[in-house]
Structure 1
């Protein structure tokens, strides 16, 4: 449920990273892992591969048969002697088109299904990292991994494996046919094909290996710069930093363009070398066959077929230089995805989770809680103890960096704690599954997101089965129903770009309505007044405390006005509850603990 309230992929400075920096991966092992992720679709992909190989074989056979037919027809034989070849040419021409259509249809169907399934697995691997683990990645880089890097699976299948399989089938068939017509010619053709494959694609791959990883990293860097420029335009303008930010993006784009030019030059040179091999093969095969033809052992029609086979075989190798470059890029992108899969989750789920059953109001007991972020030596929470009474509203005051948000993260099992305990309904939270904990303890986090969708859709994220009455009740308790009803389309009003843009206070109340609609046993609200002016913040806090009456609530804020409706006010300093403040009950209207 918390993923509904958090923009998990956004980098926030308020929550330190809790995972080690991502290390680049290389070699073939990530590519093998990528292939293993695609194995569930092997039947569709194998069918597409057979269709691709069949299409190329039909094209080669068409060229060879047509050349035999033209040469034989020049000898003016009886029509019956060439009728089979005529039928074969027609059948191969039709079959080539049908197989090419099947190759495209089956190939893209299988690949798109495989990529969609693989993208889902990448997203599933990302979910346990959010939100505490995602700051290890820049948001633009994370988006690149989820979109562009996952598309590497598509390139691996369509632009590498299928063309390579088709080329291998044509080369084997051409060499075998040439050997049947004249063993010497088949040997020459086979040797030249082997040398060309060994020399050209492997050389291109060696060159591309040095640039593939750099290009993948640069594309991710450019995406991060673009996100910074678009999402942080206002801040960059305020500090006069647009020029420097744009310069960094232009530099990354220029480096990518330089690598692309190097790639185009290398691919062109490789294609030229293959053409030289093709010409050499034509001359060598014909030269090896001239002696047999002069002795009358090799008919003229067979000599023509051998010449055409040498051309057709090397035509099938034409996609391999580009495929070699693609392979280097796929290796780099697969390595980045492997880093994502291998990034440890901030919280390890228990091997045998205990059920967390809550019936009615429930209290929370926090004892000697210690949380240490991996990037910091000092603990963010150092022996903190706190009791949240059932059905009461507890306000947690503290300056920025005092540990308030870390406590929320620990309660919602976004971060683990190295010492102490958190008990809810007699259960230690460490022994419960994370989704069970967040079913009981959830609410409004600092990075809660209002999506570009209707008000109704934003609210229904909390409870998809809620009816209009429940939506109106949640909006009324959040003091936003009047504003919603004043809009022309009411709950069906679209929010965001080209739609209604809520103010800061309206956005906060909308998020509060979503949290209230979720109706968790323990409601947590993390800095709900951030960004509001003091008067608006005081009004929002007063409305929140009124809306959460008789509900176990933890309200985290640094504001000290508008708290007269709180049942308990606690101050946190340097990761600890201030002496004399823990668990102090307070009647409504009593002085706030300072």
Structure 2
């Protein structure tokens, strides 16, 4: 079962169904799960058998029988002692291996659900229904997903393997002494009810609050770290630090409450374990006096509840783990809507590949388009044609919809109307194929916290160092690269070690490596001074002209007439030729 099934239309699965789907995905394959459960049952059975055989051996040895009568018990004690640790190790190894293998599948499928929404649909619900964004989204992708392996490790496995061992122990005790078996069963039922209720009363609320409180702390930290310079500039750092401190204090209080609840649960179960032992003695001593039970068997009946309750202790705690896991699964299900939000394009089931010449014609007839999560159109009545090899400059005031138009052309935003590449309607082709034809150089290029080589290679993995250096020369960064030590020079987190103009040129180099026939460049001069801006614009347009690419340049910077073939103006979402 995959959680990457995302549909545009029709009634999507409810949040509860999505949660159940995620929990099913968190379970390892049956073969691996049942192997871990079987090994856990063998470990628990060995622990119970060890105490039972040890009690019988010590009591029987006190009667000083011939060694031959107790030799098998001696071997049993050694075997069960080794088996307890051995099977426990194998159970942990098998269980964690199976659970963590599923962790990778969960993350892959969660990203598969997010990819069709990106970039504009991710967090689109922030404007409407409070879906996650920023640090909150990061928390759900990391911490909440990390909680899901506990569904197998701390819920399913303990309940099944522990339940089997406890039931077998009750049956064995009943065979030794029916009254003791009934007493053990009743105390186990009472311990299960009391332990579950105590855990729910003392820790239930805290367990449900830990995931959102952890996300709130992540969000506050994300805001503090990413906006540190702005917070310092406006003297708002103390308030941001106070928000982090308050979020941390709330999370710490919830974790402490949960720990106290777990302690109370363990204490209640231990108390009833003592009660079970006392009641076992109360039923066993009269049986011994009546000759229906010998002394070694009485020792087994009296001490067996202690071992059984040791195995049983994980059962009430499994319900606390279930609450934590379910809360995380609900948050993950809420991260991505059951259906793709209106405004985000999706592939149709029978999407066809797109094959176009090196420089295709573009024809866009748009009635309206809007950002996901917003009903107000950002574009309307836009008719745009780009002929092969054209260099078109698009201008307009801030908020006119220029970036939205760039996202429509690269299929990040859907449209009401028609959009054709070389006469092929893109609504019937794969979105990735459209983006291989129409590339976007964004206004604020994203640079990975790695070296220059890795920031270029993801555009074309097979590129050699000579090809990378050649494309850097083309965008005017060849000498700069050599001065910094070559392709291994770091660019810093989010490009902190390069200037705005250098970041734009790196982004242009990536676009050239990707070999987009049509290039949409969104405000490449927004973060640089005038002199640098003029050089960047000239380099972009002359490089595109040399390659015969089609370029749509969105710019506030004046562009010389000899560099462009046409100018367009966007005003209030409408294109003015």
- Normalized against structure 1, the TM-score is what? 0.89
Partner Cα separation in structure 2 for residue 536 and residue 566 of structure 1: 19
- Taking a change above 3 Å as real, the CA distance of residues 245 and 313 of structure 1, as seen in their structure-2 partners, is same
Partner Cα separation in structure 2 for residue 509 and residue 525 of structure 1: 11
- Taking a change above 3 Å as real, the CA distance of residues 371 and 207 of structure 1, as seen in their structure-2 partners, is farther
- Taking a change above 3 Å as real, the CA distance of residues 368 and 105 of structure 1, as seen in their structure-2 partners, is closer
* Equivalent pair of 1:59/1:92 in contact (CA under 8 Å): yes
Partner Cα separation in structure 2 for residue 168 and residue 572 of structure 1: 69
Partner of 2:70: 82
Partner of 1:553: 551
Deviations 1:439-478 (A, max 9, x none): 1111312343111112111111111112234323321221
- TM-superposed CA distance for 1:426, in Å, is 0.8
* Equivalent pair of 2:19/2:333 in contact (CA under 8 Å): no
Count of residues in Structure 1 that have an aligned counterpart in Structure 2: 553
Partner of 1:516: 512
Partner of 2:270: 275
Partner of 1:446: 443
Partner Cα separation in structure 1 for residue 149 and residue 443 of structure 2: 37
- TM-superposed CA distance for 1:522, in Å, is 1.0
- TM-superposed CA distance for 1:498, in Å, is 13
- TM-superposed CA distance for 1:208, in Å, is 4.2
Partner of 2:328: 333
- TM-superposed CA distance for 1:301, in Å, is 0.9
Q: Give the SS at the match of 2:312.
A: coil
Any unmatched runs of 5+ in structure 2?
A: 1-7, 9-13, 125-131
* Equivalent pair of 1:541/1:563 in contact (CA under 8 Å): no
Partner of 1:210: 205
Deviations 1:507-528 (A, max 9, x none): 1111111111111111111122
* Equivalent pair of 1:45/1:110 in contact (CA under 8 Å): yes
Partner of 2:462: 465
Q: Give the SS at the match of 1:161.
A: helix
Deviates further, 195-204 or 549-558:
195-204
* Equivalent pair of 1:292/1:298 in contact (CA under 8 Å): yes
Q: Give the SS at the match of 2:568.
A: strand
- Taking a change above 3 Å as real, the CA distance of residues 183 and 563 of structure 1, as seen in their structure-2 partners, is farther
* Equivalent pair of 1:542/1:563 in contact (CA under 8 Å): no
* Equivalent pair of 2:446/2:494 in contact (CA under 8 Å): no
Partner Cα separation in structure 2 for residue 84 and residue 439 of structure 1: 74
- TM-superposed CA distance for 1:497, in Å, is 5.5
**1:344-423 counterparts in 2 under 5 A?**
344-345=339-340, 346-417=344-415, 419-423=416-420
Pairing 1:130–2:156 present:
no
Partner Cα separation in structure 1 for residue 571 and residue 471 of structure 2: 34
- Taking a change above 3 Å as real, the CA distance of residues 216 and 37 of structure 1, as seen in their structure-2 partners, is same
Residue 316 (structure 1) aligned to one of 286, 297, 311:
311
Partner of 1:540: 536
Residue 108 (structure 1) aligned to one of 90, 96, 108:
96
Partner of 1:477: 474
* Equivalent pair of 1:185/1:285 in contact (CA under 8 Å): yes
Partner of 2:214: 219
Partner of 1:253: 248
Partner Cα separation in structure 2 for residue 404 and residue 560 of structure 1: 16
Partner Cα separation in structure 1 for residue 288 and residue 163 of structure 2: 29
Pairing 1:33–2:30 present:
no
- Normalized against structure 2, the TM-score is what? 0.91
Partner Cα separation in structure 2 for residue 229 and residue 352 of structure 1: 46
Deviations 1:324-375 (A, max 9, x none): 3222111110001112353433223212213311112111111134102354
Partner Cα separation in structure 2 for residue 455 and residue 258 of structure 1: 45
Deviates further, 120-129 or 455-464:
120-129
Pairing 1:303–2:298 present:
yes
- Taking a change above 3 Å as real, the CA distance of residues 263 and 241 of structure 1, as seen in their structure-2 partners, is same
Partner Cα separation in structure 1 for residue 534 and residue 199 of structure 2: 66
Q: Give the SS at the match of 1:571.
A: strand
Pairing 1:424–2:421 present:
yes
- TM-superposed CA distance for 1:435, in Å, is 0.9
